[in-house]
A = this chain, B = another copy of it.
Amino acid sequence: MTTSNQKIIYTITDEAPALATHSLLPIVRSFAAAAGIEVETSDISVAARVLASFPERLSEDQRVPDSLAELGALTQSPDANIIKLPNISASVPQLRAAIAELQSQGYNVPDFPEEPKTDEEKDIRARYGKILGSAVNPVLREGNSDRRAPAAVKAFARKFPHSMGKWSKASQSHADYMRGGDFFSSEQSVTMADAGDVRIEFVGKDGNVEVKKELSLQAGEVFDGMFMSAKKLREFFEGTLNDCKETGVMWSLHVKATMMKVSHPIVFGHAVTVYYKDLFDKWGATFEEIGVNPNNGLSSVYDKIKQLPESQQEEILQDIHDCYAERPEMAMVDSVKGITNLHIPSDVIVDASMPAMIRNSGQMWGRDGKQKDTKAVMPESTYARIYQEVINFCKTNGAFDPTTMGTVPNVGLMAQKAEEYGSHDKTFEMKADGTMRVVNAATGEVLMQHEVEKGDIWRACQTKDAPIRDWVKLAVNRARNSDTPAIFWLDPERAHDMQLKAKVEEYLKEHDLSGLDIRIQDYNGAIRESMERAIRGQDTISVTGNVLRDYLTDLFPIMELGTSAKMLSIVPLMAGGGMYETGAGGSAPKHVQQLVEENHLRWDSLGEFLALAASLDEMGMKYDNPSARILGQALDKATGHILENNKSPSRKVGELDNRGSHFYLALYWAQELANQTDNTELAKVFKPLADQMTANEAKIVAELASVQGKPVEIGGYYHADPAKASEVMRPSATLNNLLDSLSV
């Protein structure tokens, strides 16, 4: 690494994005150099991480640094500027394949020990363990979340809008949620004055105390406890079903069992056993015997009854059928395949399914494959309310119009696992009636307590102080830099939010707020204001907690852009640096296969373009480097031209692919730089390149196209040969020469 501060770390990852990097990076490096910015790489691919884990087994020249550890350390530096491309979250089979490939290339890395026995095997297993799964994000996500629609993407959506279903003023669709008995109604919250340990305890009716969990909390940490009554939840479900039966509106359930991975499967299970009440009443004992788990959806019934005699299976299937006659129509996830809303818990994920429904005239699909007005059942009222607000808004004002609507970027609290509700280690399903309480271990003080009943779901939530302070700073910075009003979504009726509000008001004082419009509003007020502004073409930053961050960064992007995949996702690191995440589409193994077979890479580097533009802009601001800002802004415009002129990669061999889209990016970027008048030096530098590229457009495109259609060899899948990959990814001599000329 060099000593210059003005440095972008571009991550080398896996598969398609890694291949695309061979083509894109030379362009980026050439352009960035004009602003005095170096672009370094950091290889955090699975293969590199394997190699870095066993230096003692490799020859000197085979060894690689532990880049992920270095990057992790870098997140603590104010100078960090990291472009983070999608990488493989390796499963065991993937890891095995990578190991085999490396071994075949002459690297003496050990086999993956399935069942380690010796100390050596255990050590190896432990080292590989650190590479498995989503190992990268926890190391790098040392900040809160800044998500926004980049200007180029927004402009494109305005010009070429996605389809939006018309809303009828007479729509019967609505959101339905509990009015008591849910987490919202029972939430209690404290802020720790000093650091200390707390115990989460259950006190039985017999007075016995069971410690469920012990936690060390920081000074200033916000700690919440809350529960959902199983009885009230079941009554609520029954009520919604009867209401649908009466009104003829279709019934649908929207939870987030993937994120709220302890609480929401239970909630989902209650929905299943209430909807199919007659079935479970009749077969309850049998189901228990054969291991049916309603929390896994009705699919669990279909699955488990296979062990029963044929005739009994038929009877059960008939009983399921009878439930449909008794109950209101249910929304389908896949009406062709007959997959209902209650089939498996991960099928309807509220943050995606609700925007889809809202975009689709407030309707979902029925058993007959037709769109219908729907009751969207979301038990927990805390967040469900915002969807009812949106639905009322659409009934009143019609569907959002992507061609005119403003944008609602998000600043989300997430650093250091802030507000991780419902998941993980602090959610409990009550096994008996009693009292749940949180006790200060040092003083014995009861910080909060709830009377609970068997089946109730109790959960706690932690939010550390430093992330909140950073979140406030981020919100102010975003408001300042984008000259946009920012609304803190804090509900006066939520105990947790009132703890946060006190901190927000305190930490806002640390900033210069002159000329800024920063407000604190309850959720309904905040979303209403954001929508009222949006339909008038005005932008509003939503500054929210973690769950709303998750929900809103789907909701508004889907309305504005038709997808949340085109959002720019920045993690401004708490230490002062920045990480720019590119895309959420995974690392695309099928793309690699197509390249190897047809020499066509359909990977779209849009996410990289967007991240780079933001990274350059930030660098320009941080180091008072106007050239960097101009580079970033020109890149954003160039990305806009890519979109508008349809120069994104095609899926079909022979047409423009990833490399071609990179050429056009370079062309437009150079043109924008040559034509801008803010920095004539920079314009002068890029003028010849722009002219040459413009003149050679047809030639370069032809050179890029001419190589397609034949198999190529890149020397590896997980660990390709850099020279070979580079050669494959840079087949236009004309383009390469032009880029070289700039660097000179």
**A: which residues have CB within 8 A of B?**
168-172, 174, 176, 243, 247-249, 373, 375, 388, 392, 395-396, 528
| Interface of A (DSSP majority class) | mixed
A-B contact pairs, 20 of them (CB 8 A): A168-B243, A168-B247, A169-B174, A169-B176, A169-B243, A169-B247, A169-B375, A170-B172, A170-B174, A170-B243, A170-B247, A170-B248, A170-B249, A170-B375, A171-B172, A388-B396, A392-B392, A392-B395, A392-B396, A528-B528
Q: Report how far A392 CA is from B391 CA in the complex, Å.
A: 9
A373 to B168, CA, bound (A): 14
In whole angstroms, how far apart are the Cα atoms of A243 and B395 in the complex?
13
Complex: how many Å from CA A528 to CA B528? 11
Checking B174, B248, B249, B528 against A395 with a beta-carbon cut-off of 8 angstroms, the contacting residue is B174
Copies of this protein, total: 2
Give min CB distance, A178 to chain B, whole Å: 13
Smallest CB gap from A522: residue in B: B532
Residue of B whose beta carbon sits closest to that of A396: B388
Q: Give bound CA distance, A108 to B464, whole Å.
A: 92
Contacts of A171 in B (CB 8 A): 172
How long is the Cα–Cα vector from A249 to B392 in the complex, in angstroms?
17
Given A168-B247, A170-B174, A171-B172, output 17 extra A-B contacts at Cβ < 8 Å.
A168-B243, A169-B174, A169-B176, A169-B243, A169-B247, A170-B172, A170-B248, A170-B249, A170-B373, A170-B375, A174-B395, A174-B396, A388-B396, A392-B392, A392-B395, A392-B396, A528-B528
Alpha-carbon distance between A226 and B262 when the two chains are bound, in angstroms:
59
Q: Tell me, in angstroms, the Cα distance from A528 to B524 when the chains sit together.
A: 10
CB neighbours (8 Å) of A168 from chain B are 243, 247
From residue A477, how far is it (CB to closest CB) to chain B in Å?
Answer: 28
Minimum CB distance partner of A176 in chain B: B169
User: Whole-angstrom distance between the alpha carbons of A247 and B166 in the complex?
Assistant: 13
> Which B residues are CB-close (under 8 A) to A388?
396
Which 9 A-B pairs have CB atoms at the shortest separation, nearest pair first?
A170-B247, A392-B392, A170-B172, A170-B249, A169-B174, A388-B396, A172-B172, A168-B247, A169-B176
Smallest Cβ-Cβ distance to A171: which chain B residue: B172
CA distance A395 to B391 in the complex (A): 11
Chain B residues contacting A528 (CB-CB under 8 Å) are: 528
Bound form: Cα–Cα A373–B172 in Å: 11
Alpha-carbon separation in the docked complex, A388 to B174 (Å): 15
A392 to B395, CA, bound (A): 9
Docked pose: A285 CA to B385 CA in angstroms: 55
Residues of B with C-beta under 8 A to A248: 170
Minimum C-beta distance from A169 to chain B (A): 5
Distance, CA A524 to CA B170, complexed state (A) = 20
* A389, chain B: closest CB distance, angstroms: 8
Q: How far is the CA of A556 from the CA of B388 in the complex (A)?
A: 24
Interfacial chain B residues near A373, Cβ < 8 Å:
170
Residues of B within 8 A of A375 (CB): 169-170
Residues of B within 8 A of A169 (CB): 174, 176, 243, 247, 375
B residues within 8 A CB of A176?
169
CB of A301 to closest CB in B, whole Å: 30
